[in-house]
Amino acid sequence: MNIESKTAKAFVAHGRMVQGDSSAKIIVSGTIPLFGKMGVKCTIAPLEGQRFSGIRPDNLLEPIKISGTTEEGDDIHIEGLFVERISFSQNQTHWVATADRFMKGKLQPFGDGGEEITCYATVTPTLLASSDSHYERWYDGTIRFGEGTNRNGLHWSTRLGEAKLIDNYTYIDDTAGIDKVDVRIQQCQVTIQTNKSHGASLGEILGHLPAALDEALQLISLLSRRRVSWYKAEAVMSPKKATVQPFQSALVIRRQFQGHEPLKEMGLDDMLILPEKLKPDLFQELLSNYVKSRQRNLMKQIMPHLLAAYEGGYVEASISRAYLGIETLVYGIASDEHAHEARLVDYGVFQKMIPDIKAVISGHISDSTTARAIIGNIERLNKAGSNRSFTDRLWSILMEHDVPYNLLWPTDSDIPLELRQMRKRRDVFIHQGKTENLGQYYADALRWRNLTELCILKLLDCPREVINQMSLGHRGHFDFYGLDTSD
């Protein structure tokens, strides 16, 4: 069954496309996917007598914006276009593009009446949202749950109100031959209860969702070991009982890369922290620590490497992303924590030595370019930590932050020696391109990934006792690739 084609809804709208000082009246048509994750694809054409003069799809500094009204009277707003194809017919230009952000519904400022607003954001499935509930679709179309079902999910505070992540399912009617069947689609969902004080329109409230959700979902991605992000959301305003104000709703869909499929099926044993440990308060504490951490931007840089290392594809690429993750962590923390590191020699004394050092370098190296390159690094000679090896820096970080690295090796292991050997094998793999011992390289990569994850958890002040130790062994990854890690 092609879910997207059977459930997509078509639209046609007239409006105006704007980029900087240039604009054109246009007609835009397309389909809105109810379950697709790659954005709204649309066709844009100028109205008769109009041209796309001055509007350039390759101008990334000024995103293209489109505002208009559908034939049913709904507002639409598009911000950013990824143009896939430009065609010409009958002296007209047509663009086929995917909207970076597509909004449709009642986007005008609120009138009187209606106070309560609920936002429903659809996110990538994650086991951290699972409530182990039994879902059943009844004859009347409603969904029932088993007795004693607790669907509390993860909770955290946002600028819009309290957010709650739960697992959710949608059912679609279909046929298999002559039989009617139900198709069940898992769609995890973040729900936020808010009100009109947080925006002048449903469109403005939906515009606040990235700030409200993205960092929390980054943390959930880390704990889930897969990319978790929202790609569709709906805001609904309920009327007051004493008024005849109708329900108002608006939809936003954004083009969002969801990553590749995991290289193996993830289970609860793969979660860094089990869902029951994160509830009711631990997730909020970790998120608060993440948001206020001085290492927040560094962690944001590291997470894509970690998540990509868990995705399917070439094993060599997975190994390389694991290396990128740990090296970004080590050099990022080192550059921050040792920005004012001690000098080996008094600054004034060393400055007096520099002319003599320059003279020695210039006297022994005839090539002026090479000499200038060496002279440019003279200052580093006086920094206490500038000549420390990668493994020494890593070991120092593990010690200073009390990272539970011992969870990754047998109790009698010489960890500094293990790290040096892993680093040497990394150099062989990266710089010599030797892949004969691929199983060992991959085993090392798993440890690098785990070390990176444990370091991040400690930066977030995560208690050691809540870490899921079962998640630190990944036999299934070796089975997937058919790798041998024996010496």
State the pLDDT at residue 475.
41
Q: Which two tokens stand for residue 467?
A: 């870490």
State the pLDDT at residue 480.
39
pLDDT in tens, 298-339: 999 999 999 999 887 788 888 999 999 999 999 898 665 554
CA-derived radius of gyration, the chain:
28
Q: Is residue 311 part of a domain?
A: yes
Strands 230-237 and 116-123: antiparallel
Q: Which of 105, 132, 160 is the last residue of a domain?
A: 105
Residues 6+ apart with CB under 8 A from 271: 127, 128, 223, 224, 225, 468, 471
Do 214 and 129 belong to one domain?
yes
Do 254 and 389 belong to one domain?
no
Q: What is the DSSP string of 140-176?
A: TS-EEE-TT-----EEEE-SSSEEEEE--EEEEEEEE
Q: Which of 259, 284, 318 is the last residue of a domain?
A: 259
Neighbouring C-alpha atoms within 13 Å toward the C-beta of 123: 33
Q: What is the DSSP string of 168-224?
A: -EEEEEEEETTEEEEEEEE-EEEEEEEEGGG-SSHHHHHHTHHHHHHHHHHHHHHHH
CATH of the domain at 40: 2.30.110
The answer to whether 198 and 162 are in contact (CB under 8 A) is no
Do 204 and 321 belong to one domain?
no
Do 162 and 234 belong to one domain?
yes
State the pLDDT at residue 482.
45
Do 50 and 85 belong to one domain?
yes
> What's the DSSP call for residue 83?
E
State the pLDDT at residue 101.
94
Do 246 and 382 belong to one domain?
no
Q: Is residue 297 part of a domain?
A: no
The answer to whether 171 and 177 are in contact (CB under 8 A) is no
Domain residues for the domain of 51 are 3-105
State the pLDDT at residue 395.
92
Strands (E), 51-115: 65-70, 75-89, 92-105
Residues 6+ apart with CB under 8 A from 55: 17, 19, 22, 23, 24, 64
Instruction: Give the C-alpha separation, 317 to 308, whole Å.
Output: 9
Q: Is residue 79 part of a domain?
A: yes
pLDDT in tens, 140-168: 555 555 554 555 678 999 999 999 998 87
Q: Which of 200, 231, 259 is the last residue of a domain?
A: 259
State the pLDDT at residue 61.
86
Q: Is residue 438 part of a domain?
A: yes
Q: Which two tokens stand for residue 68?
A: 């208009």
> What's the DSSP call for residue 342?
P
Do 90 and 134 belong to one domain?
no
**Helix axes 347-364 and 368-375, enclosed angle (nearest 10):** 160
Q: Is residue 302 part of a domain?
A: no
Q: pLDDT tens track of the chain, all 487 residues? A: 466 666 778 999 999 999 999 999 999 999 998 776 778 999 999 987 778 888 888 887 899 999 999 999 999 999 999 999 988 877 778 899 999 999 999 998 876 655 789 999 999 888 888 755 555 555 555 555 555 455 567 899 999 999 999 887 776 777 777 777 777 677 789 999 987 777 778 999 999 999 999 999 999 999 999 999 999 999 998 776 655 556 789 999 998 877 777 777 788 899 999 988 998 799 999 999 999 999 999 999 999 999 999 887 788 888 999 999 999 999 898 665 554 455 677 778 888 898 999 999 999 998 888 888 888 888 777 765 556 789 988 998 999 899 999 999 988 899 999 999 999 999 999 888 888 888 889 899 999 999 999 999 999 999 999 999 999 865 444 443 444 445 4
H/E element, 4: helix 3-7
State the pLDDT at residue 104.
95
Q: Is residue 209 part of a domain?
A: yes
Distance between the two ends of the chain, CA-based, in angstroms?
47
State the pLDDT at residue 220.
96
Do 19 and 73 belong to one domain?
yes
State the pLDDT at residue 326.
95
State the pLDDT at residue 277.
92
Tell me the sheet residues that pair with 97.
42, 83
Q: Is residue 226 part of a domain?
A: yes
Do 196 and 320 belong to one domain?
no
CB atoms < 10 A from the CB of 125, how many?
Answer: 18
Do 233 and 321 belong to one domain?
no
Q: What is the DSSP string of 274-289?
A: -HHHHTTTHHHHHHHH
Do 89 and 188 belong to one domain?
no
Instruction: Report the domain count for the chain.
Output: 3
Instruction: Give the C-alpha separation, 17 to 10, whole Å.
Output: 20
Q: Is residue 344 part of a domain?
A: yes
> Using CA of residue 263, residue 264, residue 269, residue 274, what is the dihedral sign?
positive
In terms of pTM, does the model score above 0.75?
yes
Do 126 and 84 belong to one domain?
no
* 413-428 as b/e: b if 16+ CB within 10 A: eeeeebbbebbebbee
